Amino acid sequence: MAKKTNKASSKSDLEKYINKRLFDTIPLGIAVIDPDYNLVYANKTFEQLFGSWENRKCYHVYKNREDMCSRCESAMTLKDGLPRANEEAGYDKNGRHIHYLQHAAPIVDDNGNFLYVIHIFTNITEATQIRDEHQVLFDQVPCNILLIDRNFHIVKANKRLTDWLGDLEGKYCFESLKGLKHKCSECTARQTFADGRTHTGYHVWKSPAGKTLHLHVITIPLKRADGSFDLVMEMAVDVTQTLKLQDGLKFAHRFLETVISTSMDGIFAVNEKGRVTIFNPAARKFFNVKDNQVISREELAGILPQGFLAQVSGEPGHAYLPETEVKTIDGETFPVRLVGNKLKRSDDSLLGMAFSVQDLREIKQLEKEKLEAERLAAVGHTVAGLSHGVKNLITALEGGMYMLNSGLSKGNIERIQKGLEMLMRNIERISIFVKTFLSFSKGREIKAKICDPAEIAKEVVDLYEVKADELGIALTNEKLGDVLPAPIDYESMHECLTNLVGNAIDACQVSNGGSCYVAVRTFEKNGIITYEVSDNGCGMDYEVKKKVFTTFFTTKGLGGSGLGLLMTKKIVQEHGGKIELESKPGKGTTFRIRFPRSRLPKVIEKG
């Protein structure tokens, strides 16, 4: 009995709850409107969502409108008494945009009239937002996505894919993506359907336009809560460009490797930690390093010129030594041309250093041989011309003899006198000639010492100062910029400049009056030391210019041996230099002798 009573009382409690409390505790907003759309009733949940409602119209509360909605579902329900459900958008109590499901049902009185409409709200704002975000993600993610069913029909494809291939829904994936009539022999989707796991693979797709795409593909089962599934999501990332780059990179790498390993120049490199990562066969040969021998950073620093590594790793990160000396791994010195470059990443951080080295041993030898050949050629030239000078001398001697003999037989004292003078003069010439020629042909080894090139010019100019002064010639000496000391045979260079300055002064004497000058200049540019001797004397015409450096040519009659410029040329050549000549008759002459530092002789003794 008591049980019954309890049951009855609990039932009445339940009814009481449903009637009085449920209305407010249910997590759905509920409101009632009259036929004039006035809100006449609403629960707590509704209030929490839309705020105050009393004495307000439904459209005003839900949608923040001043007048009725153009299409009102409730109006229709009031007419036909049918319940309706819609997805609607409106504003919450704080004016924020919300999405909600609205169920509308009529409240019918005993006579069957529709007196009110009840609205039940479900807030779906968050779900809608998530759904929209997913759609954007699905369509815009930079990869192709499609859903496939167990028959390999495409159920859905993202915008990226449909933009490219058009509508794909319901088509076979193998047909629309690869242009095949049958399933693929290797299929990641099939694997996923078989074992329910994620699979990856590499696919080649063909567009209808015939374009080939290379793709990295992932297939994922779209599982339900119970683990069953009928759809597979396939995500395909286009790697065509990446593959192309990879191929290009591989080729570039192989090309570089071939170039480095077959290069005649030594090539080596260190990484950012200073470890030697490249040391090509040519470099191994130069430095006498065995094929499998690893070079440490310390060993590398030891074979290169002192401080070279620091120079390359510092600023500006580039060092070029056109001629320097390095050591083999066993300490033997040899001449090379050396280039070092710092390698930087795009953010300027250190990537390493690369070096290129050219063995100059052979070139040096050839250069030496060439210099010797040039010297011998000059001597040869001289010997060929020797007969010319000698014959002229003999003719003059014979002339003297003839005068002497015929004078004697005719008793002509004047002629005897003249003959004797001719003989004596030409014997004197022979003696000068022989002296000069000897000094020219003996091929004295030049002895280079480190000396100041400008100092030699100064001494030569000092030597002629008095003579120039007497003749009224303005003799000047100028050093332009810095000229560093260089290995030069002092006496030879002195003689060389003495010849040129002497010639210039002679040229001034022959010229037709006016103020004369002889200017000596010394300067250095791009590693080339240059002496320049200019005058505004008589100058030379084409015929003379052609002959000045050939043997025994003189315009000075008995005053010149004809060997001066030949001697000058020889000295210049022995210093690895070149002699140039600019001259205009009546305007003057400029002799320019140029010595590239790299070709200057080696120092025999220091000091």
Partner 1 sequence: MNAKKKILIIDDEQDVLAYFEAVFQDSGYDTVLAGNGFEGFELAKLEKPDLITLDITMPEQSGLKTYYQFKKHPVLKKIPVIIITATDESYKNFLNELNGFSTPEVFLSKPIDPEELLKVVADIFSDNNIKK
List 206, 244, 250, 391, residue binding partner 1 (CB under 8 A): 391
Token reading at 533: 């001797």
Among the residue ranges 136-144, 357-365, 402-410, 446-454, the one whose residues contact partner 1 (CB under 8 A) = 402-410
Among the residue ranges 143-151, 167-175, 299-307, 551-559, the one whose residues contact partner 1 (CB under 8 A) = 551-559
Does residue 403 touch partner 1 according to CB under 8 A?
Answer: yes
Specify the DSSP element, H or E, that contains 473: strand 473-480
Among the residue ranges 282-290, 348-356, 398-406, 519-527, the one whose residues contact partner 1 (CB under 8 A) = 398-406
Between 286 and 553, CB nearer to partner 1: 553
Give the interface size with partner 1 as a residue count (CB under 8 A).
28
Among the residue ranges 335-343, 358-366, 552-560, 572-580, the one whose residues contact partner 1 (CB under 8 A) = 552-560
List 38, 162, 328, 554, residue binding partner 1 (CB under 8 A): 554
> Which amino acid makes up residue 319?
A
Length of the chain as a residue count: 607
Minimum Å distance from CB 593 to partner 1? 23
List 418, 479, 545, 592, residue binding partner 1 (CB under 8 A): 418
Does residue 563 touch partner 1 according to CB under 8 A?
Answer: no
Strands 29-33 and 39-42: antiparallel
Distance CA 607, CA 601 (A): 15
- In DSSP notation, 416-453 reads HHHHHHHHHHHHHHHHHHHHHHHHHHT-PPP-BEEE-H
Among the residue ranges 390-398, 472-480, 517-525, 568-576, the one whose residues contact partner 1 (CB under 8 A) = 390-398
Q: Which residues pair with residue 603 across a beta bridge?
A: 448
Question: Which residues are CB-neighbours of 196 under 8 A, at least 6 positions away?
Answer: 221, 223, 227, 229
Provide the mask over 93-112, with x wherever binding to partner 1 is found by CB under 8 A and - wherever it is not.
Answer: --------------------
Does residue 565 touch partner 1 according to CB under 8 A?
Answer: no
Does residue 392 touch partner 1 according to CB under 8 A?
Answer: yes
Does residue 56 touch partner 1 according to CB under 8 A?
Answer: no
Between 136 and 427, CB nearer to partner 1: 427
- CA distances for 530 relative to 320, 406, 486, 526, 597, angstroms: 23, 56, 12, 11, 10
Does residue 395 touch partner 1 according to CB under 8 A?
Answer: yes
Tell which residue, 164, 151, 182, 181, has the closest CA to residue 236.
164
Distance CA 385, CA 377 (A): 12
Does residue 396 touch partner 1 according to CB under 8 A?
Answer: yes
Distance CA 83, CA 523 (A): 108
Minimum Å distance from CB 535 to partner 1? 17
Does residue 406 touch partner 1 according to CB under 8 A?
Answer: yes
Does residue 514 touch partner 1 according to CB under 8 A?
Answer: no
Place of tokens 């000698």: 390
Among the residue ranges 64-72, 154-162, 421-429, 434-442, the one whose residues contact partner 1 (CB under 8 A) = 421-429
List 276, 422, 520, 567, residue binding partner 1 (CB under 8 A): 422
> Which amino acid makes up residue 26?
I
Does residue 544 touch partner 1 according to CB under 8 A?
Answer: yes
Burial of residue 399 (CB within 10 Å: 0-12, 13-18, 19+) is: middle
Tell which residue, 459, 531, 456, has the closest CA to residue 488.
456
Place of tokens 């894919």: 161
Minimum Å distance from CB 406 to partner 1? 6
List 36, 110, 543, 605, residue binding partner 1 (CB under 8 A): 543
Laid out side by side, the sheet with 39-42 consists of 39-42, 29-33, 114-123, 97-108, 84-91
Tell which residue, 345, 343, 349, has the closest CA to residue 312.
343
Binding residues (CB under 8 A) for partner 1: these are 384, 387-389, 391-392, 394-396, 398-400, 402-403, 406, 415, 418, 422, 425-426, 543-544, 553-558
